[in-house]
Structures are given as C-alpha cells and as structure tokens.
Amino acid sequence: KAGVTQTPRYLIKTRGQQVTLSCSPISGHRSVSWYQQTPGQGLQFLFEYFSETQRNKGNFPGRFSGRQFSNSRSEMNVSTLELGDSALYLCASSFGLATYTDTQYFGPGTRLTVL
Amino acid sequence: TQLLEQSPQFLSIQEGENLTVYCNSSSVFSSLQWYRQEPGEGPVLLVTVVTGGEVKKLKRLTFQFGDARKDSSLHITAAQPGDTGLYLCAGDTGTASKLTFGTGTRLQVTL
C-alpha cells in the first residue's frame, strides 16, 4: 500500500507570495490533517478534513486555509507569505477522524522556505 | 501554548547505554502516543497508551503512561545507532480530534 505523498517536497517563495501544498492520503483513508513543524514551536496542528469538511482547526491566522476533494486528496494554501511561515508542513492521513483509535500516517513533508 | 513538555531536549549517548525520555503536562489526556521522526521523513507512530499506569513494550523500548494520565515516559534499553532520531509524544484530549505534540527529544546514539 502506497504511503502518504506530499508535493512538492521543497519550495522557495518570497514574502507576500502565496503557496499551495498538496497531499495524497493512503488509499481508503478519509481523514487528512495538516501540521506545521518549526524548530522553535515544534509540531503544531493546522486543520483536519474528513469527507471534504473541515472538522478541526488549530490556532493559525486566516492566511492558512485548506480543502479536501472527493477523492480525499487535500491541499493547503498560505497567502501573503511571511518569513515566519518557513517550516516543514506535514500531512497525515487516517481512516477515520484522527483519535487514538485511528493511527495517523504522516507524509515526508514539504519544506517551505520564505525569503 | 505548549501543553506537553519533553525532557531532555537533546541526548547524545553511546551504543549500549540506557536512557529515559519524559513527557509531562498539567492536562489530562485520554491517550498518549509516541512517535519517532528521522531526517527528511514524517513522524512514525511507535505506540499508543490509553489506560493510566499502562506499560507497553516494543522490543527494547518501554512506554509508560502515568497513573493520572498527565505524563508518560519512554525508556530505551541498550540503545543502538538505529534509535537515533527525534522522539515526540502527542496527547489526545478526547474533546477535539487533534493531537497536541510535545516539544521533542533529539536522540543521537554513537558507536
């Protein structure tokens, strides 16, 4: 079974630009969660989608948004990029809503650098 | 606000040594998970503990959930270079289906 895939793996943008990251979950998984990982703040939850609906959202500004398609693939968008948005963005998929009963499988992440 | 504090932050030991990583919180969690993350990869789930006082063993790794479900520990016996990585604990409060991750412990095991 193929794992979670994320594209692109690396991205360099400049301040003020916007970016779209893509995540393809494991086949059959309906839940996709997004996390931001930085050296200073660690791994922080962005949002979770299940069956095309956002179910949970972390404490991030509205510049961070996402969506999920009918095939469970998900995208996240960051508008008006700031230097502090430089991070590893991780996507995780699970069969159901991400609780302790449902193992989350993480992708390798997209490394975003904002100059 | 970081709810889960891990200690130590960094650990460099030699092959064969034992070590313990701690994950502490003032909050009660319905479950707690431990992950290991290697460079260039996403975290991989090692174990989930659910019951207060629960102990789980995974080969040379022993995980314990505190009686009050506020803390957990990971003990590695006879560490090997393959154990090198970033160890993360993550708690599930059960009220919202998302995980709160700890600050992380970076372990390096040398020959």
**B88 bridge partner residues:** B35
Mean pLDDT of chain B: 92
Looking at this protein, which amino acid is placed at residue A110? T
Name the pLDDT band for A102 (thresholds 50, 70, 90). Answer: confident
CA distance A109 to B95: 27
What's the confidence (pLDDT) of residue A37?
96
Contact A25, A75 (CB under 8 A): no
pLDDT recorded at residue B95: 61
Using CA atoms, how far apart are residues B101 and B109, in angstroms rounded to an integer? 23
Mean pLDDT of B65-84: 96
Q: Considering only residues 21 to 80 of chain A, which have any Cβ-Cβ distance to chain B shorter than 8 Å?
A: 33, 35, 41-45, 48, 55-56, 58
- Interchain pair B96, A104: CB under 8 A: no
Q: Read off the pLDDT of residues B11-42 as tens digits, 9 standing for 90 and up.
A: 999 999 999 999 999 988 888 999 999 988 99
What's the alpha-carbon Rg for chain A, to the nearest Å? 13
- φ/ψ of B83, rounded to 5, equals -85, -10
Taking an 8 Å cut-off on Cβ atoms, the answer to whether A56 and B103 are in contact is no
- Nearest-CB residue to A100 (from B30, B44, B88): B30
Q: How far is A2 from chain B (nearest CA, A)?
A: 15
Q: How far is CA B24 from CA A27, A38, A55, B4, B75, in A?
A: 35, 20, 27, 6, 15
Using one digit for the tens of pLDDT, what is the confidence trace for B88-106? 999 987 665 578 899 999 9
pLDDT at B1 over 70: no
Task: Give B57's pLDDT tier (boundaries 50, 70, 90).
Answer: very high
Burial class (CB in 10 A: 0-12, 13-18, 19+), A16: exposed
Count the residues in chain B. Answer: 111
Q: Residue A51's pLDDT is what?
A: 92
ω before B8 within 30° of 0 (cis)?
Answer: yes
Q: What is the pLDDT of residues A22-43, one digit of tens each?
A: 999 999 999 999 999 998 888 9
Residue A106 to residue B103, Cβ atoms within 8 A: no
Chain B contact for A109, CB < 8 A?
yes
